[in-house]
A and B are shown apart, each in its own frame.
Chain A
């Protein structure tokens, strides 16, 4: 298999990949605001009750919310790969986040016999999706758990800082990567990325032969083996909904209003030409949301507003060098940004364009019809005391 050079803007450089660069016209993408998640798992159940309730899918959670740093589904999925890849090395450069990744991606670290580096989890590792729920850790283990705030390791500066005892929730779905490892791994070419429409990555259920190479090589472990059909399945990005301009189930079910999903431009320079698209705006223009483990090299397309109370070293390892800018922007919000964040979960329709004026955030669909109008600062009305006894 030939090795091609493809551009990975998240790494700020080209990288090895088994296929030529093939970016979709539009890319399915989402922004998850970790700061607001309460791990109610409504997203998880919305997905489960839509797609994975059948025989052979008992262990499947295409959407899951895990408690970091110890939680993981499958267990220790990220720790295991981080150990294989070694330290996360970035050097200063002209990349999107002002840095260039100088380490190896999963494709570049591949053994001679494989397309990439990865591992195949055992069944037992999928069996406790919410293991270590709410289990905190301490960045100061000698001192033990406490409630102090370490101002020197502050996340973004300004308000508060990193907690010395901490955990946070990480919401995970398939990243519908630009350079998918599952697709690269499949010896049958049974996995495809929808290039002409939304960039959603799918496993052809008719061609899959259950080799599980996708399960092994996906760094996010989102392809899963169906024990009844004996072939692999993965998050389908709720493509039947997306085709109708409706957000995925896990997005539209989000109680905490932490999620926004839509279609964005694949490359930053194209995204900057269309800044009225809320995803282009958040990810590329304001850089408030950063990819999960960009160093793996698949150019994942779910972006996270990083949690403010976590030690920067940990965030750096998990989200790469974009965290500084993301936290800075998040903690110094302006009306426009607040307006876009106010659109999260106000409609289940995909917002293709937004506008902000007169304290109102307005969302438009693909036909540029207004689909939502919401106040940015909701008026506060205090009921005068003389009405307290009335209902």
Chain B
């Protein structure tokens, strides 16, 4: 999006936007997500501006397994048959692709009281 904005000569760009309000004078108040779950509040004099929208005040959509199943049946086979097209992003060379190690050896603790567990967790948190 930033590159598209650059091509269009737009120097007022905002990413991770959760809220946009047009003020009476035509300026734009924009809330962008930044670190720590906070929002940066900016006021832009007005268009043109480029805004990469996040999810607003809404969370991510609820899980919907039906959509996933429909994708598996319809979209993925079509993608597998599709011919590769050059899109100008050439040059990258993937040296290695790997799946992360999924399993950890989990020590299961069943016989400790809440007090004992609390002390053990506290010692672990404190690095004792």
Do A and B interact with each other, yes or no? Answer: no
